[in-house]
Structure 1
Amino acid sequence: MVSQRLGVRLGTSADRDWIFRLRHAVYAEELGQHSTDPAGRLSDDLDDHGVGYLVATCDGSPVGFVSITPPWVGHWSLDKYLSRVDLPLLDAPDVFEVRILTVAAPWRGTGAAAVLMYAALRWVQSRGGRQVVAMGRAELAGMYRAAGLSPTGHTVVAGAVTFDVLAGDVATLADRTQRRYAPVLNRLGDAVDWQLDAPMRPGSDGCAHGGASFDGIGADFRRLHRRREIVAADVLDAWFAPAPGVLEILAEDPAWHARTSPPVAADGLRARIAAARGVPAGSLTLGAGSSDLLFRAFREWLTPASRVLLVDPSYGEYAHLATEVIGCRVDRLAIGPADGWRIDLERFADTLAGADYDLAVLVNPNNPTGGQLPVRALHDMLRRVPTRTRIWVDEAYVGYAGWDQSLASSAAERPNLVVCTSMSKMYALSGMRVAYLISDPATAASLGRWTPPWPVSLPAQLAAVAALRDPAYYAARWAETTVLRAELAAALGAVDPAAVIDEAVANFLLITLPDGGPSAAEVVAACRRDDVYLRDLSPMSPAFQGRTIRVAVKDPAGNARIVAAYRAAVTAALRPAGAATR
């Protein structure tokens, strides 16, 4: 056969007849799994309920496909053969079913099957999938095991065909694929016509930091003029400048700031924070941003034998550190759009009471969903928490909700409560890297043993102290943010009334795109062509279903550019009419 170019794309409604005919030819006529149909077509009820197809092509013509059932469909092909008792994995909110990988006979052995398997992995990754389950023909078990899938111990017989039920951890599969097949993937990158909205090679995962907007500026800082051309709404940096006193002290003697070692333990900053928050100085642990603190604390408190409870979706660094770095057992309390992204504290407390957890994390207000838990409800929940379970509350955005919503004073007294506060987003000091933990003095002293000297740079100490001296300035900016957020939400909502706009308590909002239009990845990519960077939340969690975008609030000019870019992306008919969106 003459060499032809392989490709892969999302199947459209126009592909369905071809897919159903190939399914009939292979699974009814060739393999005898199903009875033959006079119409020569084979489909099932999942085809009417949101199942997606990826299609392999040769020079643009379809030659094979793989079907993916995401968790939001609510049922699986495997439900016909196994109960949830047989295979509890099917009840997980983050499992995707990959099924009926099929290549037409003339193209078997061309690499089309390998392209489809890899494309399915990338598509699942891009939608936040953490586990996959599949039925693989028993005679092809070696191929599936080589890809990293493992038998579950279940076998399914359908007609004349025997299938092994296999499963795999998505992160492990992706790591194995990148390590074992990197040269092949590098070659495929040039040879395959890749048309999925997920990039062929994985970039940042669900805990990406700094967003992609610095890609437009350049990390080598040679094109800093680009910072004025780009709207960086993919990160939650403040839209406003730091307080005037911050700018004055940083401009006063920058040469001295750069060459001078800071106070070794940042005692002046510590005293200023203690006074501002009404807590003892001995209850504070300082760090160069919240990531510095959580890496230091979690590695001190947790081991691979530890059990951790997280909210899903929430700030991705916690899951990354607990699962990928330390290797803890992590359970997730799922929230979703059906309940307005609300964290059910009753269920949270019940979950903690029903198991032996070492640590549980709450982000309040939650990022990226934006909801806020009232402080009174938090106090009620804390009374039910087992004393051996440490509760970590991330209050990076609490100033937007009001300082009266903070648990700071309780954390200074309660041995199993720690509050983490970043000065990055609320005080417009993201570049300075200043954060602090509030805990009981014994916990602070323990963490102090693992705190290096000079944990916060001199410019950062100077800026943070100056910022804390001007609470009125920041209170005014936070109030202004609320107004700008409401205006931005109204303008975005007017672009497409079918989209759902969820205002956060903090400096961002969510857009959930309607079915039948472009995916979040496609809208985000289109906006970047206008130098407007938004955040596709899809890789963080299946709860976003590939359709949710987070948008940081900017100044009026920046917000106007966000709305214009979003309008252009939505109205540009990124998909042909009738195309499948999932």
Structure 2
Amino acid sequence: MPIPIRPAVASVPPYKPGKPAPVGPDGSSFKLSSNENPYPPLPGVIEAAQHAVQRMNRYPDMANAELTAALAAKHGVGDDEIALSTGSVAVLYNLLQTVITDGDEVLYAWRSFEAYPIAVQLTGARSVPVPLGPGATHDLEAMLAAITPASKVILVCTPNNPTGPIVPHDQLADFIDQVRDDIMIIIDEAYLEFATAPDRARFDDLRRPNVVTMRTFSKAYGLAGFRVGYCIADPAIAGAVRAAATPFGVSAPAQAAALASLAADADLLARVEELIKERTAVVTGLRDLGLAIPDSESNFVWIPAGERTAAWAAEFEAAGLAVRPFTDEPDAGIRITVGEPEANKLVLQVAGTLKP
């Protein structure tokens, strides 16, 4: 007789990673499907990681003490308000583990980060997806209306993955103040470094006992392969995340690389500026072709392709571009990471041949 698998696990939809880069007819090959930073690690990062590798026979610092102190100093918070795990997705899982019980509800905008429904289902909670509003933005009024006595967590992704817009600061602050104090509000800011809008969220003005901010080293810092994410939260919540996290989860090379990355902020900002320039060029080029591209404050752009999603994604792939199609309705579309200038030029070239 087979071992019974818990229903919440047996029926969970698998996470779909971005496809590897195909090779186009002219040899072009660019992976624009996973929102990775196209640049190599920042100066000093490889050296720091290599030094840490020499001690791989020892366990890493389970408390992540040096990295925690550096992050606390960066954000002006106490060490006890920082909790790390293996990427912000793992932080999300740990956060939900700390508060969710059977019958609870978790609200989030949809479409948003595809890991949300998976993480919620694994806890035994019920997902409450709230459709996006005009311009692929969070409909905060609808989210407030969806709150019930069973609501336990609300997820807000800003900039939103995969559509790109931010939730303006004042709207987010007003939203937070209207939510019950016993509901955890998780603000997922994985792409915050790419946001340039004057009204983007300001962390210092949103701090509440029930508000958690998630950040990652995977995107702007270019450490996707090392899996380092963290949250800033009330000490009680941060302590619970540390308790739920896998012991020794963040490896010694990952900790060293993250520390070195924090020390290279000037180089980071220069790279981010280049990606923002490329993003602007891609958004402008796609709009000039007549495509209804929403504002993007992240390192990707969103093409709301609808029923043409699969066909258009195949056109990009045939040219050597791996993009990320989301074919399920509603809000089917294609997410394209901002990559190297050559890749971005090819994106616009292919987009100009797409048939409506």
Secondary structure of the residue aligned to 2:334 is: strand
Instruction: Name the larger-Rg structure.
Output: 1
- Structure 1 residues not aligned, in runs of 5+: 1-171, 177-203, 218-227, 572-580
Q: How far off its partner does 1:265 sit?
A: 1.3
Q: How far off its partner does 1:459 sit?
A: 1.1
Q: Which residue does the alignment assign to 2:316?
A: 527
Q: Which residue does the alignment assign to 1:233?
A: 32
Q: Which has the higher contact order (CA 8 A, sep 6+)?
A: 2
Q: Is the 8 A contact 2:52 2:256 kept in 1?
A: no
Q: Is the 8 A contact 2:102 2:124 kept in 1?
A: yes
Q: Once structures 1 and 2 are overlaid, which stretch shifts more, 257-266 or 454-463?
A: 257-266
CA distance in 1, matches of 2:199, 2:168: 10
Q: Is the 8 A contact 2:160 2:166 kept in 1?
A: yes
Q: Residue 212 of structure 1 aligns to which amino acid in structure 2?
A: K
CA distance in 2, matches of 1:404, 1:269: 29
State percent identity of aligned pairs: 27
CA distance in 2, matches of 1:493, 1:446: 45
Matched, 1:542 2:327: no
Which residue, 139, 142, 145 being the options, matches 1:347? Answer: 142
Q: Which residue does the alignment assign to 1:72?
A: none
Matched, 1:212 2:19: yes
CA distance in 2, matches of 1:234, 1:361: 23
Matched, 1:472 2:271: no
Deviations 1:454-509 (A, max 9, x none): 22111111110011112222222222222101112233345xx3432234111111
Q: Which residue does the alignment assign to 1:491?
A: 285
Alignment of 1:498-517 (within 5 A): 498-513=290-305
Which residue, 59, 68, 72 being the options, matches 1:261? Answer: 59
Q: Which residue does the alignment assign to 1:118?
A: none
Which residue, 113, 119, 129 being the options, matches 1:332? Answer: 129
CA distance in 1, matches of 2:276, 2:295: 9
Q: Is the 8 A contact 2:42 2:267 kept in 1?
A: yes
CA distance in 2, matches of 1:249, 1:382: 40
Q: Which residue does the alignment assign to 1:456?
A: 250
Q: Which residue does the alignment assign to 2:340?
A: 555
Q: Once structures 1 and 2 are overlaid, which stretch shifts more, 500-509 or 362-371?
A: 500-509
Q: Residue 208 of structure 1 aligns to which amino acid in structure 2?
A: K
Q: How far off its partner does 1:329 sit?
A: 2.2
Matched, 1:367 2:161: yes
CA distance in 2, matches of 1:234, 1:459: 26
Normalized per residue, the structure richer in strand is: 1
CA distance in 2, matches of 1:231, 1:205: 27
Q: Residue 533 of structure 1 aligns to which amino acid in structure 2?
A: A
Q: How far off its partner does 1:241 sit?
A: 2.6
CA RMSD of aligned residues (A): 2.8
Q: 1:513 to 1:331 in 2, by over 3 A?
A: closer
CA distance in 1, matches of 2:252, 2:152: 36
Secondary structure of the residue aligned to 1:510 is: strand
CA distance in 1, matches of 2:298, 2:14: 20
Q: 1:254 to 1:444 in 2, by over 3 A?
A: closer
Q: How far off its partner does 1:552 sit?
A: 0.6
Q: Residue 558 of structure 1 aligns to which amino acid in structure 2?
A: A
CA distance in 2, matches of 1:363, 1:512: 18
Q: Is the 8 A contact 1:395 1:406 kept in 2?
A: no
Q: How far off its partner does 1:560 sit?
A: 2.0
CA distance in 1, matches of 2:251, 2:105: 34
Secondary structure of the residue aligned to 1:505 is: coil
Q: Residue 331 of structure 2 aligns to which amino acid in structure 1?
A: A
Q: Is the 8 A contact 1:279 1:408 kept in 2?
A: no
Q: Which residue does the alignment assign to 1:96?
A: none
Deviations 1:516-568 (A, max 9, x none): xxx211121232233210111223x4122xxx211110111121232334445
Q: Residue 321 of structure 2 aligns to which amino acid in structure 1?
A: V
Q: How far off its partner does 1:394 sit?
A: 0.5
Alignment of 1:353-502 (within 5 A): 355-401=149-195, 405-406=200-201, 408-409=203-204, 414-494=208-288, 497-502=289-294
Q: 1:258 to 1:524 in 2, by over 3 A?
A: farther
Q: Is the 8 A contact 1:408 1:438 kept in 2?
A: no
Q: Once structures 1 and 2 are overlaid, which stretch shifts more, 235-244 or 264-273?
A: 235-244
Q: How far off its partner does 1:308 sit?
A: 1.5
Deviations 1:298-321 (A, max 9, x none): 123212311121111110111122
Q: Which residue does the alignment assign to 2:111?
A: 313
Q: TM-score, normalised by structure 1?
A: 0.55
- Structure 2 residues not aligned, in runs of 5+: 1-6
Q: TM-score, normalised by structure 2?
A: 0.87
CA distance in 2, matches of 1:404, 1:478: 19
Q: Which residue does the alignment assign to 1:71?
A: none
